[in-house]
Amino acid sequence: MKVRLTISFDGTSYHGWQIQKNAVTVQETLKNAVRKITGEDALITGCGRTDSGVHAINYVCSFDTSSRIPGERFAAALNANLPGDIVCKSAEFAADDFDAARSAVKKTYIYRILNTETPDVFERKYAWHYKYPLDVEKMREASKAFIGEHDFLGFASSGFTVKTTVRTVYSLDISEKNGLITLEITGNGFLYNMVRIIAGTLVMMGAELIDYKSAAEIIASRDRRRAGITAPPHGLFLKEVYYRNE
């Protein structure tokens, strides 16, 4: 049977999703919990890599099991075996050909920026504290250039092999409340660090360190050096993963 899990995790204490030597990861922690319940060494496929410190509200992963534990009980059993910073929100049986990574057609990320002079102790792990004034209207104006199909080569960190660097951004919304600026971006896929580089670029545009009118030109340049800095990981949250026919 194929099981599909939706989990949430606070990435603060993890070296990202993917299993690594000498570092605690979400995948490994989840694998250990699954082993305790099923007795099996499952190969858990995640919907994508996440970096150290990046969070997930709804991360989807899948694995095969011969265990016949029904969905709801499986989630409760997992939660009893997981640390407090990883929670299984749902577990259900999926089609045999379901693959959390390959079947994904769309993802939504959130990037949070706390734009206040004084840091907020309760946001220190969940938002990038940027204390210099940001012009949210300029960020919003610049964000329009990212919508649509573009070659995002200039918005990717090196170290990843992909067939193409062309991606489609369906929406990029910016909201602000009490100094907390939230970027919400949905696309058919994202290159390595793409959301964080877009966030870093928009912040630099809001701070007038990069001209906000040059967003389209910077994207077209496909030059990483023209984009802004890679925003820190702790402001990033994977919010939702969408699959075909859902």
Write out the binding residues.
109
178 binds a copy of itself (CB under 8 A): no
Binding residues for a copy of itself, total number by CB under 8 A: 18
Distance (Å) of CA 238 to CA 6, 132, 158, 186, 220: 12, 26, 21, 10, 26
Instruction: Please say whether the beta carbons of 172 and 108 come within 8 A.
Output: no
Interface mask (CB under 8 A) for a copy of itself, residues 36-75, using x and -? Answer: -------------------x-------------------x
Least Å distance between CB 60 and a copy of itself?
Answer: 15
Q: How is residue 163 written in tokens?
A: 């067939």
Q: For residue 201, give the nearest of 106, 113, 119 by alpha carbon.
A: 113
- Binding residues for substrate, by number, are 109
Q: Which is nearer to a copy of itself, 60 or 204 (CB)?
A: 60
Site for a copy of itself in 7-26 (CB under 8 A): 8-10
Q: Catalytic one among 41, 51, 85, 120?
A: 51
Q: Identify the bridge partners of residue 88 per DSSP, sorted by sequence position.
A: 7
Contact set for a copy of itself, span 117-136 (CB under 8 A): 118-122, 124, 126
**Residue 84 C-beta: closest distance to a copy of itself, Å:** 5
Q: Does 85 bind a copy of itself (CB under 8 A)?
A: yes
* Identified binder of a copy of itself from the candidate list 79, 81, 165, 168, rule CB under 8 A: 79
97 in catalytic set: no
The conformation of residue 24, written as its DSSP 8-state character, comes to -
Helix H, strand E, coil C: the string for 32-96 is: HHHHHHHCCCCCCEECCCCCCCCEEEEEEEEEECCCCCCHHHHHHHHHHHCCCCEEEEEEEEECC
Nearer to a copy of itself, 84 or 159 (CB): 84
Q: Any idea of the CA torsion for 183, 235, 207, 160, to the nearest 10 degrees?
A: -90
Shortest distance, position 192 Cβ to a copy of itself, whole Å:
24
Active site residues: 51
Q: Residues in the site for a copy of itself, rule: CB under 8 A?
A: 8-10, 55, 75, 79, 84-87, 89, 118-122, 124, 126
